[in-house]
Amino acid sequence: MSAGPILQLTSVGRRYNEIDRELVILDDANFSLGKGEMVALVAPSGAGKSTLLHTAGLLERPDNGDVILDGRACGSLSDEERTAIRRNDVGFVYQFHHLLPEFSALENVMMPQMIRGMKPRVASERAQQLLDYMKVGARASHRPSELSGGEQQRVAIARAVANAPLVLLADEPTGNLDPVTSSYVFEALEALVRQSGLSALIATHNQELARRMDRRVTLKDGKIVTVS
C-alpha cells in the first residue's frame, strides 16, 4: 500500500435548507483513503453516509472544502470534468443493484466501458473476465430478472469496476441480502479489491463485515471520526 492518499476530503461541509431550518450533514469533515485501503463507514441511518459517499464520488458538490482525488482538487472543476472523473476513476455500488433490466449481465458490464469509448469486442472480453472473477460468468447471458439477489449484486460490482477505477464507493452493498449471501458477496468484493489494488470506502451496518476491513470510521456531529 502506498503511503499517499488516493482520496481526501478536506474541511468538507454539506448542508441542506429545509422549510424552517438548515440541516448540517457534514461539518468541517476530513478524511483520507490510502491506495489499496479498504475502509468501513459505519453509522446509523440518517447520519449522512449516503451524502458523504455522494460528495466523495463527485455526485454532489461540497458547500465548502474540497475533494481531492489522486492529487487533483475537484471542487472548482466544471460539471463535464467531474463527470469524466466519475466515469473513469470512481466506481459506485448501491444497496439495490440498479442493473439495466433489458440487458444481459454481460451487456450491463460492457456498458460503462463502451460509454468510455472501448471497442465492443474488448469490452465484452473484459466484462466476461470480471463476471468469471465474481463467479457469475456462467450467467453472463441472463437478464437481471433471471438472477438471484446475490448474483445481481455481483454483476453490479463487476460493472462498478469495469473501467478500472481508482476508488470504489459502496453504499450498503449487501444490505438487501440474507446473511449467508451477504457474506459470500462481500468475500467476492473483498477479493476483487485486494487483488486489484483498488481503494474502497464501504458503508455498512454489518459490524462483522466492517471488522474485516482495514479500519472503521463513522460520522459524529458532521465529522468523520475513527471507530476504536
Q: Which pLDDT tens digit goes with each residue over 192-205?
A: 888 888 899 999 88
Domains of the chain by residue range: 7-226
pLDDT of residue 172: 84
pLDDT of residue 1: 41
User: In this predicted structure, what is the pLDDT of residue 228?
Assistant: 63
What digits encode the pLDDT tens for the residues 154-165? 899 899 999 889
pLDDT in the model for residue 2: 43
Predicted structure pTM score: 0.87
Q: Please identify every stretch of the chain with a pLDDT value under 50, giving residue numbers as ranges.
A: 1-2
CATH class of 7-226: alpha beta
Residue 205: per-residue pLDDT? 84
Q: How far apart are CA 34 and CA 70, in angstroms?
A: 10
pLDDT score of 182: 81
The pLDDT of residue 44? 78
DSSP string across the chain? --SSEEEEEEEEEEEEE-SSSEEEEEEEEEEEEETT-EEEE---TTSSHHHHHHHHTTSS--SEEEEEETTEE-TT--HHHHHHHHHHHEEEE-SS----TTS-HHHHHHHHHHHHT--HHHHHHHHHHHHHHTT-GGGTTS-GGGS-HHHHHHHHHHHHTTT--SEEEEESTTTTS-HHHHHHHHHHHHHHHHHHT-EEEEE-S-HHHHTTSSEEEEEETTEEEE--
Q: Tell me the pairing of strands 90-93 and 167-171.
A: parallel
